[in-house]
Amino acid sequence: MSTTLADGTRPALTSLTEEERMFQEAVRDFALAEVAPRVSAMDEAQQMDPDLIGQLFELGLMGIEVPDQFGGADSSFFTSVLVVEELSRVDPAVGVLVDVQNTLVINALLRWANDEQKAQWFPKLASDTVGAYALSEAGSGSDAFALACRAEKDGDDYILNGHKLWITNGNEAGLFLVFATVDPDAGYRGITAFLVPKDTPGFSVGKKEDKLGIRASSTTEILFENCRIPGSAVMGEVGKGYKIAIETLNEGRIGIGAQMVGLAQGALDHSIKYVKEREQFGRPIGDFQGVQFQIAEMATQIEAARLLVYNAARLKDAGEDFLAQAAQAKLFSSQIAQRVASMAIDLFGGYGFTREYPVEKLYRDAKIGTIYEGTTNMQLQTIAKLLLR
């Protein structure tokens, strides 16, 4: 998707082209028409509606950067960010389903998969197969490379043993990007990335987590018991998994930033509507200056977070360094999402504390933003290291 204006100039880094704006509005309309009516039921059932997943594929939202020769939308990373933001404005659980698919799994394959792997998986990821990113383990959270999951060479194959925790899309995924070590003594230099189909013998999906928020998004453990995979399943070079994981997570943080911006915008949307309708002392509470100040503060914080996210995404697409900007976008947007969602509860008062109104769910959903794809402390550490090196 071009970022050049009709007069031949480039737009400001964070502005939208007319094409991008129209696409954003189309995704927004879809989210309001098809996602919004399902939000409460999916949250209660802790399950994504399969029909909705099918619609996401039909609209091309699950293969945004997949080249058109493989049936994808052949668009930009920035477009993925817009999609995640708009879906998360209605339901962050749907937003993260699409986010992991595009900014982690597909993004990793674009950069590291060979031609045969791309030909095998891109048509599926663009049409009907959900992807999952399997890095975390019980003993490796922020220390992402303290992996115990082992891949032992056996002839031309590898035998996987171990288990992973907190795997987003675990129940829905047909393809798992798995990180395991081929040599524990080599430390991070032994980590290797594997493309593992769900139907591989010895692979199974374990317990599904009962979570505080984004409950429709499945978060599961996955297990490997003498799971044999061919050598052709190695993505990138043996021992280069750490590089794949680091670089992919840097990009994924921008996607989580977009999720948090969308969540915060959704909370503000509901709040504006409510303060116009809710009357106290004979007039809408939106007429009171104190409420107006809160709305203004929420909107300003969201816009600042949005600009950070958009800037990081534009830098990524331009091939420029974006590591610090991605960390800043993820850090700030996750903090703002919690702050804005909390202010929305305050504006709704007692109603906001009940499940009858949508801001209660957004408040629960917001907390994960400071945890996954790098905790707040890890983002702070990254930013500080880059500034001080």
Helices 241-277 & 359-366 angle (0-180, nearest 10): 150
* CA–CA distance, 222 with 331 (Å, rounded to integer): 28
Q: Which of 137, 172, 360, 373 is catalytic?
A: 373
- Phi and psi at residue 173, to the nearest 5°: -70, 145
Distance CA 252, CA 107 (A): 9
Cβ atoms of residues 87 and 27 within 8 Å: yes
The residue among 262, 254, 245, 371 whose CA lies nearest residue 316 is: 254
How many CB atoms are located within 10 Å of the residue 275 CB? 19
CA distance 338 to 388: 29
Q: Which two tokens mark 251?
A: 């990009």
Closest residue by Cα to residue 121 from 159, 70, 49, 76:
70
| Residue 139: both structure tokens together | 């003993």
Is residue 172 a contact partner of residue 218, using CB atoms and an 8 Å limit?
A: yes
Helical segments of the chain, H only: 18-30, 39-45, 50-58, 77-90, 92-99, 107-112, 115-127, 241-277, 289-317, 323-348, 359-366, 376-388
Q: Is 373 a catalytic residue?
A: yes
Q: Is 172 exposed, middle or buried (0-12, 13-18, 19+ CB in 10 A)?
A: buried
Question: Which are the catalytic amino acids?
Answer: 373
